[in-house]
Chains A and B, each alone.
Chain A
Amino acid sequence: DTGVSQDPRHKITKRGQNVTFRCDPISEHNRLYWYRQTLGQGPEFLTYFQNEAQLEKSRLLSDRFSAERPKGSFSTLEIQRTEQGDSAMYLCASSQVAGGGPYEQYFGPGTRLTVT
């Protein structure tokens, strides 16, 4: 198992353009999370999936943000009409949740977005 992977690692785009990021979780994990991290701050939760169902999306920053996990495997995060304030590190994490009890989230390396 190679862990959580994200692609691309870096993205530079011009304001107003759309961008899409991909996350491949650890294969047997049923939960997938997206976070955003700006400089000097801890990661900020955006949304999560349990298998293919998106169970929480009210924390997405605006309606320009959307996420999918079509077959319960990889996920994409899309930002439409990017703004300079969207510049940040976008992190994906996955976990295996079965029943109660504590569990850990495994994070990918992140995609660093720069909007010019």
Chain B
Amino acid sequence: LAKTTQPISMDSYEGQEVNITCSHNNIATNDYITWYQQFPSQGPRFIIQGYKTKVTNEVASLFIPADRKSSTLSLPRVSLSDTAVYYCLVGLNYGGSQGNLIFGKGTKLSVKP
């Protein structure tokens, strides 16, 4: 399964756009890239998932270059409530595999007023 590397922590201010980059040099052809968010004392929450190019939903965008060796989670205009740990995951195989998630240490985002 592909290993991911992301910054341990990031700081931002309210209203700014935050970009968190994750590297996954050994990503396999059929791997998707998924981001989860976790608040203290809560389970992780799915944010976004993509395979290539760009994916956007109501809370975030995910940018994936052509070689897929990295990805960037973009959070527009963050607020204090976006302070959390963000995990980048790859290695989900489908069609019958166990599909468990392999979490790293994540990126702790701190949003300041």
Please classify how large the interface on chain B is, using the bins under 10, 10 to 19, 20 to 34, 35 or more.
20 to 34
Interface positions, chain B 28-80, Cβ under 8 Å from A, are: 32, 34, 41-46, 49, 51
* Inter-subunit contact B43/A109 (CB<8 Å): yes
Chain A, residue nearest B30 (CB): A100
- Which B residues are closer than 8 A to A by beta carbons? 32, 34, 41-46, 49, 51, 85, 87, 92, 94-95, 98-106
Closest residue on chain B to residue A31 by CB atoms: B99
Bound form: Cα–Cα A40–B107 in Å: 11
How distant is the Cα of A43 from the Cα of B37 in the complex, in angstroms?
12
Where chain B touches its partner, the secondary structure class is: loop
Contact of A45 among B49, B102, B104 (CB under 8 A): B102
Q: A43, B103: Cβ atoms under 8 Å?
A: yes
Tell me whether A100 and B95 are in contact (CB under 8 A).
yes
Residues of chain B lying within 8 A (CB to CB) of residue A43: 44, 101, 103
The answer, among A41, A55, A102, for a CB contact under 8 Å with B94, is A102
Query: Would you give the 0/1 interface string for A80-116, flagging 1 where the beta carbon is closer than 8 Å to chain B?
Result: 0000000001011101010111111111111010000
Q: Give the docked Cα–Cα distance between A106 and B43 (Å).
A: 8
Q: Shortest distance in angstroms between B39's beta carbon and chain A's nearest beta carbon?
A: 10
Q: In whole Å, how far is A81's beta carbon from the nearest beta carbon of chain B?
A: 26
Contact assessment for A42 and B87 in the assembled complex, using a CB-CB cutoff below 8 Å: yes
Q: Is the CB of A99 within 8 A of B100?
A: no
Do B34 and A104 touch across chains, with their CB atoms under 8 A apart?
Answer: yes
